[in-house]
Amino acid sequence: MTQIGWYGLGSMGLAMASNLQRHLASKRALNLIYSNRTMARGDPLGALGGTPESSYTNLVAQCGIIFTMVSNDSVLQHLISSVTGSGLSLRGKIFVDCSTVHPQTVGLTAVKLKEKEASFLAAPVFGGNPIAVDGKLVFAIGGPKQASEVVKPLIQNVMGRKIIDCGEDATRASLLKIAGNIVTVNMMEAVGEAQVFAERTGLGTGPMEELIGEAFGPVAGGYSKRLTTGVYAPPLSSRPGFGVSLAIKDAKHALSMSKENNVELPGLQVALENLEAARDYAGECLDSSSMYGVLRQKAGLQFWNEKSRQGNSS
């Protein structure tokens, strides 16, 4: 039996690792070994039978398959460098990163691990925290076939409802994720614009939300609910479902690649500027849909709505 490890227990990682641990327990397989910068975040996973390990290097030493789900490229690079530079044998190990990172980061990571006779799979995900909790994420997967065939049964009907196989080049999975985010961020911008329009014209956000959910599907409907329930600007004590800085990172990855490839993404550029303005105004504790607050301000409304937090002191 292969020992499996997991690093990164944020909004997505904790939900995904919990589903994986439940699956392992149901198969009477070895319990997941987990780690996170803030170890206390793993307590619910410990309650499911997972084993805590505070050091990433020690976790890697004990595991044959190691998942990561972290904020961004530099966190992933730091983790990988810490093990490749540790003198630990990585031979035959499979590293699976589910974070959203730039294809270039994926390519460099794959090379670094190949030099150590380890495999690297990029397995980024589509869907937010509630979908992760339900185990219904869509995964893209890319990397050596032998490794991806070993890992797919740990994903399909465990953490995800669908795996899109992008082949042996791991960078293609990351590229698909970045491309998908062009749709995600633009859709959040579009829903935000429509809801501000509905409020200012007197139509009201209720009928608009009903229409968005019915006519444009549950994803768009879910984005509308993030606005009308105030989740776009949650209480300062909470962790946003999909933090504003993560969406800014995603948009910047897409825009940097679009420039290199002579593609214009004007809608995404507008959404990025609004997200950055939202973060400048209200700080880090914002959801990726928080361009809505800025759209409200541009229409003469307050950044906050009746369901959101009411400022930066509440």
Ligand X SMILES: NC(=O)c1ccc[n+]([C@@H]2O[C@H](COP(=O)([O-])OP(=O)(O)OC[C@H]3O[C@@H](n4cnc5c(N)ncnc54)[C@H](OP(=O)(O)O)[C@@H]3O)[C@@H](O)[C@H]2O)c1
Any contact of residue 37 with ligand X (CB under 6 A)? yes
Residues that bind ligand X (rule: CB under 6 A) add up to a total of 26
Choose between 59 and 198: whose C-beta lies nearer to ligand X. Answer: 59
Q: Does 242 bind ligand X (CB under 6 A)?
A: yes
> What residue has token string 């948009």?
251
Q: Between 143 and 241, whose beta carbon lies closer to ligand X? A: 241
* Beta bridge partner(s), residue 142: 122
Decide: is 71 part of the binding site for ligand X (CB under 6 A). yes
228 near ligand X (CB under 6 A): no
* Residues 274-313, interacting with ligand X (CB under 6 A): none
57 binds ligand X (CB under 6 A): no
Q: Between 43 and 214, whose beta carbon lies closer to ligand X? A: 43
Residue range at the interface with ligand X (CB under 6 A); choices 8-16, 17-25, 189-197, 301-309: 8-16
Q: Is residue 160 near ligand X by the rule CB under 6 A?
A: no
Is the CB of 131 or the CB of 198 nearer to ligand X? 131
CB nearer ligand X, residue 113 or residue 125: 125
CA distances for 80 relative to 112, 118, 137, 186, angstroms:
8, 11, 25, 32
Residue 306 CB neighbours (<10 A):
8
177 given a catalytic annotation? yes
Q: Is 99 in the site for ligand X (CB under 6 A)?
A: yes
Residue type, position 77, single letter: Q
Closest of 30, 174, 27 to residue 96, by C-alpha: 174
Nearer to ligand X, 156 or 297 (CB): 156
Q: Smallest gap, in angstroms, from Cβ of residue 125 to ligand X?
A: 5
* 220 near ligand X, judged by CB under 6 A: no
Least separation, in Å, of the C-beta of 16 and ligand X? Answer: 9
Is residue 11 close enough to count as binding ligand X by CB under 6 A?
yes
How many residues comprise the chain?
Answer: 314
Active-site residue, from 162, 177, 249, 298: 177
**In whole angstroms, how far apart are CA 261 and each of 153, 176, 186, 310?**
35, 15, 19, 42
Q: Decide: is 10 part of the binding site for ligand X (CB under 6 A).
A: yes
Q: Is 50 in the site for ligand X (CB under 6 A)?
A: no
Q: Which of 69, 194, 285, 295 binds ligand X (CB under 6 A)?
A: 69
Site string for ligand X, 100-139 (x = CB under 6 A): x------------------------x--xx----------
Tokens 């980024």 appear where?
124
Q: Does 251 bind ligand X (CB under 6 A)?
A: no
Does 41 participate in binding ligand X (rule CB under 6 A)?
yes
Catalytic residues: 177
Query: Which residues sit at the interface with ligand X, rule CB under 6 A?
Result: 8-13, 36-38, 41, 69-72, 75, 99-100, 125, 128-129, 239, 241-243, 246, 250
